[in-house]
A and B are shown apart, each in its own frame.
Chain A
Amino acid sequence: MCWRRVGINCLMLLVVLPLYLMLQGTSWEQRVEVRRTSPTGYTLPAAFSRVLAMGYQGLLSDYEFLRAMTFYGDRSVKQQQMSTEDWDFFAYSLDVVTDLDPYFLDPYVLGEGLLTWDTQRYEAANTLLRKGMQYRTWDWQLPYYIGFNHFYFLRDSATGSDYMMQAAEIPGSPGFLKTLAARLAYYGGKSQTGVLFLQQMLAETNSEALRQRMGKRLLALQGAVQIEDALQQYRNAEGADPQALSELARSGYLEELPQDPYGGQWVILQNGRVYSTSKFVDVKSENQVN
């Protein structure tokens, strides 16, 4: 009897426990691969999840938001590019999160930060923000974001000014909004608009990962602004555009051509704006995937 017990204990300690420890590690490694190759997630439509939340809609919205953020973060850390389906899932998740709790600020901020810059879904971002405006009536940031999208991405200064003014009229909004609207109208689609906006957004974000992304983009846009300024001086002096941007440095308008932190080459767009072949998305990661 006693020997049997000792035998069982030995078997457990020497065979089953090591087996468990080994399989536990392997299973987690497998999960990494499964998650990497798994198709895009699925989010339940809000009409169902509102019922299934059983009165915990707020908590469910936190969870769904965290899920969407981890999904994006996961792809981003592994330098995998988000596919169209991935972005569909992401945009839909934010929509569901804001259906579950329409007062929740984070999904609106994240939507503005990613749907516009990373995937050019300006209308989707604006629709999301307009939903937020219906509920967060005290919040100047949402009309401010829509205004910015109109100025910078959609090149619609008239609508942009409208939204900026709406934002400026909300009690508690910062005083610079009124003058900012005028400045944005002046710069329109130029890179300076983006710089002004990102500086403000950066000052208000606490997520370190998002701050790093925005900081990098800000650096890129500041480079573009520098080139745009030099280009304007060149045009004023020479009366024409240079053949290549490197000419700006050669003829002394720029000390040197700033680096694009995303690794792309600077180009002049037809509308006179300076942009990069990287489109301010990591070029390296795109090549790795393709």
Chain B
Amino acid sequence: MLQRVWALAMVTCKEGIRDRSLYGVLLFALFVLGLNVAVAGFFMRDLGKVTVDMNLAALSFAGLLLVFFIGINLMAKDIDKKTIQLVLSKPFSRGEYIFGKYFGLVLLVLSTMALLLVFSSATVAGVHSMYPAYFEGFSWSVFFWAVAFIALQLALLCAIVVFFSAITTSSFITLIFSMATYLVGVTLEEVLFYLKSQAAAGEVVASESLRSVLEVVAWLVPNFAAFDLKTEAAHGLALEPLRLLTTAGYGFSYILLLLWLATLIFRRREFN
């Protein structure tokens, strides 16, 4: 079984690498990294923070573009163009198909991230050597942890893409649903804490029911903000091992649940 999943993952990943848009995404990220070198000098003291901010933003944004525009295509094209009939006629179970596709996507994202990380580390090291006095709080280990959690966030997003591809019939709908889920997931924490702080201060800005609805949504949609270690990386703040462990566990369990659900739904699906 593992062999079949692995074979499908490799095929999916190779298909993704062949996509020309990948070079666009890579060029975009390299452009931001170059911009970083030019812009860093505009700031007064905290050049290390600005450099890390721009590098991590470039990595995570390139990852988002990759998942939304190449990943969705890879996943939904089979269903859109009916090539799935061909794949499913081979000795594959539906579950193996879902997991194979998912690991292919993740493999594509991870290899792109690894490539970008090489360039990004070179940029950080370059700016670091240009302005060594302004990198006081910087720590490579926190920086790499932040990148690892960006990768985990993207792996989570891949699972969401696979889930929506399994239940919808068009890649466009998958794109809209995945994007909406991402936007909700990334902003939810900020909104919830804001509402709570307003309620605590005695100011009523939104109804109680809205808050309860959002709290229910927080159970359904993953909290992407939890994986965001950009501030910690920017200032080299200490990371608690327990927090890293909890967040990683939260991410992996959500991914597994989502893939399991996708498999359940996908098994019952009929393709005409």
Contact = CB atoms under 8 A, between A and B. Distances in A.
A206 B66 CA distance: 38
Contacts, number: 74
Q: Most A CB atoms within 10 A — which of B60, B61, B183, B235? A: B235
Interface string A44-84: 00010011001111110110011001000000000000000
The A contact surface, by secondary structure, is: helix
B45 interface: yes
B65 interface: no
A103 B230 CA distance: 12
The B contact surface, by secondary structure, is: helix
B49 A58 contact: yes
Nearest to B194: A47
Contacts of B190: 50-51
A51 B191 contact: yes
A61 B235 CA distance: 14
Contacts of B224: 55
B42 interface: yes
Chain B interface size, under 10 / 10 to 19 / 20 to 34 / 35 or more: 20 to 34
A51 B235 contact: no
A58 B57 CA distance: 9
Interface of A: 47, 50-51, 54-59, 61-62, 65-66, 69, 101, 103-106, 109-110, 204-207, 210
Interface of B: 39, 42-46, 49-50, 52-54, 56-57, 60-61, 131, 133-134, 183, 186-187, 190-191, 194, 224-225, 228, 230-231, 234-235, 237
Given A51-B187, A51-B194, 17 more contacts: A47-B194, A51-B191, A56-B230, A57-B231, A58-B52, A58-B57, A58-B230, A59-B57, A61-B53, A62-B49, A66-B43, A103-B234, A104-B49, A106-B44, A206-B44, A206-B131, A206-B134
3 closest Cβ contacts across the A-B interface?
A58-B53, A103-B235, A105-B46
7 contacts: A55-B224, A58-B52, A59-B53, A66-B43, A104-B46, A109-B44, A206-B45
